[in-house]
Amino acid sequence: MTRLLRIRAGLLLSAALLSGCAGDYVKPDSSIPLCTLETVAEFPGKQITGVAVSRQGRIFVSSPRWHDDFDGLSVASLSSDGSLSPFPDAAWNAWSPPASTLSDAPSATPADPLNTWVCVQSVHIDLKNRLWVVDPASPKLAGVIPGAAKLVELDPRSGKVNRIIRFNDTVAPTKSYLNDVRIDTETETAYLTDSGLGGIVVVNLADGSSRRFLDNDPSVLADDGLIPVVGGIPLRFGGTPDGPPMVVHSDGIALDQVRGHLYWQSLTGKTLHRIRTKFLREAKLSPDKLAAEVENLGLTVVTDGMEVDEKANLYYTALEKNALILRIPDGRQILLAQDERLAWPDSLAFGPSGTLYVSTARIHQTAWFNSNSTQPDPQTQPFGIYKIKLPLAVRQLPQRP
């Protein structure tokens, strides 16, 4: 009953937002000027999903093994000349799937999937300047390779692998796809979204133990019947009107460590949720009581990547708008940047001196959603890393009580 009331309240809030704003409640704000998008690097033919920026300004990117033409570079550091170098080294990027399981060419000597990158989705730098890599280990989204799903901590300066947290099939079942991670450096806890099945994975970094939460809860599941249209392309596999729709559950995630809130949203969904992290660390809390603590924050946009700053301002990408959105603590959603180059803005990362970095994955233009299996023109439509300088008006917004 509690869960039903929560869902109903969220729907009423969403309806109120929509009716009050003529169907589009993301608005420019005269006090916050639109940001100019700056090119950091562009990669013709190299799909990038994840981006992370260290305290020293070093940039790291990740690329998932989704298509036959994958070049083998899963995690890389970006050089000043725009080139990519395997990180932490070539050995960690050496895995390739056996020909018996996938169509890719086999390796002469197959690398151990437990200690190499298999299909990396995201990278993240925490407040202690540690680099974290999420490897859901499901190449081509065909299923998790047993024992290979992992969260890896590295030193972004030396490349030293400090620890590998492995997920068994209870935490990362075959059809799961661990997507993004945020780290609470005060409690030493990691929070991950599972976009394959829907769910939140919580890791105790002190002992490496992990648990799944909110399985089958509406807050982590995609919206029924929602088919986003990105760049004029409906997200139906095969690129045909009757193709199966893309369904992606809990995806973008952001941690407000100051106030103890975890935010998330399904990619094929338009409802923002959050929970107090203390409830996710409470081992004895029943599933129903935990679900009752989830807050429905109302409708947003179709989004992939999220971040939150120390003043509880939430930033997220807007796939259908080629844009970045700012949600301030009172719930208003403000258009922060809009540019044609923001073609499927995927991941967000804060950089030094009030900068926000974004990757563009152009997923809607890949063979998944094109009947003729064409990829984006690498000359006119490269994948990229871009950044904006956050306006002073944003950085001076009052703190939330």
All domains of the chain in start order, with CATH: 2-395 (2.120.10.30)
CA atoms within 13 A on the CB side of 184: 26
Beta bridge mates, 295 = 274
Q: Say how far apart CA 208 and CA 141 lie, in whole Å.
A: 25
Kindly give, in sequence order, each residue whose CB lies less than 8 Å from that of residue 285, ignoring residues fewer than 6 positions away. 279
CA atoms within 13 A on the CB side of 277: 27
76 vs 282 pLDDT, higher one: 76
Kindly give, in sequence order, each residue whose CB lies less than 8 Å from that of residue 148, ignoring residues fewer than 6 positions away. 113, 114, 118, 135, 137
Beta bridge mates, 204 = 189, 209
Q: How far, in whole angstroms, is CA 102 from its chain's centroid?
A: 25
Note the pLDDT of residue 146: 96
Are 76 and 60 in contact, with CB atoms under 8 Å apart? yes
For the chain, the C-alpha Rg in angstroms (whole number) is 20
Of 100, 130, 94, nearest to 114 (Cα)? 94
Give the pLDDT band of residue 33 (cuts 50, 70, 90).
confident
| pLDDT greater than 80 at residue 380 | no
For the segment 210-215, the average pLDDT, to the nearest whole number, is 97
For the segment 33-40, the average pLDDT, to the nearest whole number, is 95
| Average pLDDT over the chain, rounded to an integer | 89
| Least confident stretch, 5-14, 93-102, 159-168, 348-357 | 5-14
Give the pLDDT band of residue 30 (cuts 50, 70, 90).
confident
Give the pLDDT band of residue 4 (cuts 50, 70, 90).
very low
* Side chain identity at residue 163, one-letter code: R
Give the pLDDT band of residue 321 (cuts 50, 70, 90).
very high
Give the pLDDT band of residue 375 (cuts 50, 70, 90).
low
| pLDDT greater than 90 at residue 157 | yes
Note the pLDDT of residue 394: 78
Note the pLDDT of residue 25: 67
Of 128, 64, 67, 68, nearest to 76 (Cα)? 64
How, if at all, do strands 333-338 and 26-27 pair? Answer: parallel
What is the rounded end-to-end Cα distance, in angstroms, of the chain? Answer: 31
| pLDDT greater than 80 at residue 45 | yes
For the segment 338-353, the average pLDDT, to the nearest whole number, is 96
For the segment 318-339, the average pLDDT, to the nearest whole number, is 95
| pLDDT greater than 50 at residue 155 | yes
pTM across the whole model: 0.90
For the segment 201-224, the average pLDDT, to the nearest whole number, is 97
Site of tokens 């000349």: 81
Note the pLDDT of residue 22: 37
For the segment 244-257, the average pLDDT, to the nearest whole number, is 97
- Decide: residue 85, CB within 10 A, 0-12 exposed, 13-18 middle, 19+ buried: middle
- Decide: residue 5, CB within 10 A, 0-12 exposed, 13-18 middle, 19+ buried: exposed
